[in-house]
Structure 1
Amino acid sequence: MTDALHAPGGETLVRSPLVIMALRPDGFEAVWAVAGLSRGWLEWRSGDAHGDAHGDARMDAFGMTPQSAHVLRVRADGLPTGADVQVRAVTVSVADPAVRHVSAWKIVRLLDGSAESARIAVWNDTHQRDDTIRALDAQTPSVDLLVWNGDLCNDWTTPDRFADTVLSPAQRDISAGRPLEVLIGNHDVRGDWAFRLQEYVATRDARPFSAARIGPVACVFLHTGEDKPDAHPTFRGRVAFEPLRAEQAQWLREATARPEIRDAPYRLVFCHIPLRWVDEVPADYDREGYDWFSRMSRDAWHDALVAWGAQLVVSGHTHEPALIPADQEFPYAQVVAGGPDLDASSAEAATWIDIQADRGSLRLTMRTLDGAVRITEALPPLAKTASALLRG
């Protein structure tokens, strides 16, 4: 058996890096693109003071070895909670099992809700701009999580751009040292082939929304849908985001009641379209208007976010950086990041957000690609809920 890179047709068997998504305390999901019908699995290993551990993950939800002609996804469960593990992917051609590929080992730090600190980076609205992605990749350090906060693309007019947009943007391995959290933006649901994006994006519970605890920070990740009502004629009946928002409203009540989310010292929300904006004039959809902020999402989620004690919502979409402070009506602040342009002097200049939290404070810094600071915000830690304090 050879360790070959090429499928029987001569093309490269594996077309992308091994991308780590859907990070959890005891596992993650790995995604990688292939050129032809292949099967694949993961091998993992870890070592600590208690000895070495190792294993593999080679089953899909229906008991088959994961197989696909386009993209392989394997979920790893039951790993040592909060540990650093090494993982690699093995890919084998179905047509010619002698053709196989074994990736390099990749280090993954699993989520640890008891950690003293957390670091999260945020990108948004990259719109398939390779030069911008290369600059972001060069500037963003290793972090606990990289949140790619929507509008990865412009629209999906052909089925052949998913791998190089999501899994190897600008031919980079963006999840090296930065497990990836992909949120869906309004442009990501456009085009005849948009329904296939979910094949390339892994989430914790196979839904486009989730919650996770990273050290002292509880994160809620939400899907704001499109920037116009579902019935708008441009969608041709192909979207159903109004029921999805209602589903997330119910889920929010349940997710934020989980002890590790409910009692976190810091409580952040990530979603592509802002829930607040500096000018909330209603959009005129009949005259090509669209939502600069998602009033429909806010109406559905506001009460649950307030009840939870959300401190900050982090968004993109407008391509115009903004910080809207919390007030009596909206006790959560809103941060909106920049656009896709490489040129830092552009009105739609790209930004990246660095969030660092410890026992003393959570600090958010937004920078343009020339290193200039656009926005800073600091949050104090919240006290535990009254019920948690009573339990001691």
Structure 2
Amino acid sequence: MIKAVHNASRRTFLRSLSIFGGLFIAKHSAAALEGDRQHAESFSVVAGPYLQTNFGNEMCIQWITNADAHSWVMYGSDPEDLHLKATGNPELGLLPLGQIHRVTLRNLVPGKTYYYRVVSKEVLDFQPYKLSYGDTLSSDVYQFVNQDVAKSKVSFIVLNDLHEKSGAIERMLALDAGKTRDFVFFNGDMFDYQVDEPQLLAGLLQPISKAFASNVPLHYVRGNHETRGVFARSIAKYFKHIGYTAFTLGPARFIVLDTGEDKVDSHPVYGEVVDFDGYREEQAQWFAQEMQQPEFTKAAFRVVLMHIPPFYSEDEHGSVHCATLFNPLFNTAQVDLVLSGHTHVHKIHAPNPEIHRYPIIIGGGPQDGERTLLRVDISQEQLDVEVLNDSGKKISEYRIDRH
């Protein structure tokens, strides 16, 4: 709370998007108008706070206000004594002002629980020699654990391809209520396409902030649908990472790849303004270096998360390009598991020595009865995946023993 002192096949499903696209745009335009009305009424936090991290004793805290503000975080190891203060990163000596607030807490102690509140002071008028402030908003006190990267076990869940179905994200997260997780991973296509900020807030940032993200960090990689629409060029501002990255937690090294679009770059719908081939090639070069790093080679398990799987995703250009670029590297690097989405059909593909020497697990979605939640638990000796459908029934499981 913030106080002052929002059963179809994949191919059939995608066709339906073009039929009802006008309705979606109208819906989001109405949401934008409502956001403007709220802005005119009072200064408020419209989403967050939500946590993101690559671990390594740092935690990024973000939140969104409906007007420009100067913001900071008060934090400490005692909820009654939040005596430490952190602000956004200055650029050329200037602290950030705006509506999207990002503050990173650094030099945290491994394994320690931290408490924090976010504070935003509205900027009413900014003259050359006078800055006038309005209301100051101060949140409740939240908490998170700064996970020790040397911990012996890691546990997380994966959601994918929800395509902003009404209430789906809340229902899927509720299936894991009461469980302790180190992070929550969104493996792409949480949306149909990117329209505006109200869509992003209502479709993701607001529900996850209420459900878990103020206390447990999220990771989010784009699917092909997050690359579409005018607002696709703006969503990176709302996340510490939305593209490719790597991090270590416990016995696992995690590789996150941003697989981009599934169509050729020259497709007319892209209007000659994309270069996903080049972007995927950049990631392949990066991964070739990553697989040589001690954090990768010494890990008990090496897990890749990528929206478009390297195989079993028809013959669209993006799928074929992923297989061509990444599969030889995965085989050479002895990747233990690839977690994907995109096909809208859950399937576990065991290793195939002639093609891919690693298992590929694909999450389902987005229709009722087809959505999945993947629970992943990794220790020094084994990796376990349990797959639930959207009614909470376990529909499959898979175990990998350490080589």
TM-score normalised by structure 1 residue count: 0.84
Query: Match for residue 64 of structure 1?
Result: 94
SS at match of 1:107: strand
The 5-angstrom pairing of residues 241-252 of structure 1 reads 241-252=276-287
Change (3 A) 1:370 1:101: same
Query: Match for residue 227 of structure 2?
Result: 189
Letter in structure 2 aligned against 1:211: A
C-alpha distance after superposition, 1:294-339 (max 9, x if no partner): 2212222223322322111101111100111112131111110011
C-alpha distance after superposition, 1:73-95 (max 9, x if no partner): 22222222343222221111011
Query: Match for residue 235 of structure 1?
Result: 270
2:51, 2:215 within 8 Å by CA — same for their partners in 1? no
Shift of 1:98: 4.2
SS at match of 1:208: coil
Query: Match for residue 362 of structure 2?
Result: 336
From 137, 141, 145, the counterpart of 1:101 = 137
Q: Does 1:222 align with 2:249?
A: no
C-alpha distance after superposition, 1:84-120 (max 9, x if no partner): 2222211110116341111222222234221111101
Shift of 1:66: 2.9
Shift of 1:355: 0.3
C-alpha distance in 2 between matches for 1:261 and 1:46: 32
More helix by share: 2
| Residue segments in structure 1 that go unaligned for 5+ positions in a row | 284-289, 383-392
The 5-angstrom pairing of residues 120-269 of structure 1 reads 120-140=156-176, 141-169=179-207, 172-203=210-241, 208-269=243-304
Change (3 A) 1:80 1:53: farther
Query: Match for residue 104 of structure 2?
Result: 75
Query: Match for residue 25 of structure 1?
Result: 56
C-alpha distance in 2 between matches for 1:122 and 1:16: 22
1:13, 1:93 within 8 Å by CA — same for their partners in 2? no
Letter in structure 2 aligned against 1:331: R
- Count of equivalent residues: 358
1:223, 1:272 within 8 Å by CA — same for their partners in 2? yes
C-alpha distance in 1 between matches for 2:306 and 2:111: 26
1:148, 1:183 within 8 Å by CA — same for their partners in 2? yes
Letter in structure 2 aligned against 1:164: A
C-alpha distance in 1 between matches for 2:395 and 2:349: 14
C-alpha distance in 1 between matches for 2:40 and 2:378: 50
Shift of 1:267: 1.0
2:48, 2:214 within 8 Å by CA — same for their partners in 1? no
C-alpha distance after superposition, 1:357-376 (max 9, x if no partner): 12331100110121222221
C-alpha distance after superposition, 1:239-285 (max 9, x if no partner): 221111111111112223332222111111001111111x75x34xx
SS at match of 1:254: helix
1:151, 1:317 within 8 Å by CA — same for their partners in 2? yes
2:43, 2:135 within 8 Å by CA — same for their partners in 1? no
1:184, 1:272 within 8 Å by CA — same for their partners in 2? yes
Letter in structure 1 aligned against 2:140: A
Query: Match for residue 377 of structure 1?
Result: 398
Query: Match for residue 379 of structure 2?
Result: 358
C-alpha distance in 1 between matches for 2:156 and 2:39: 41
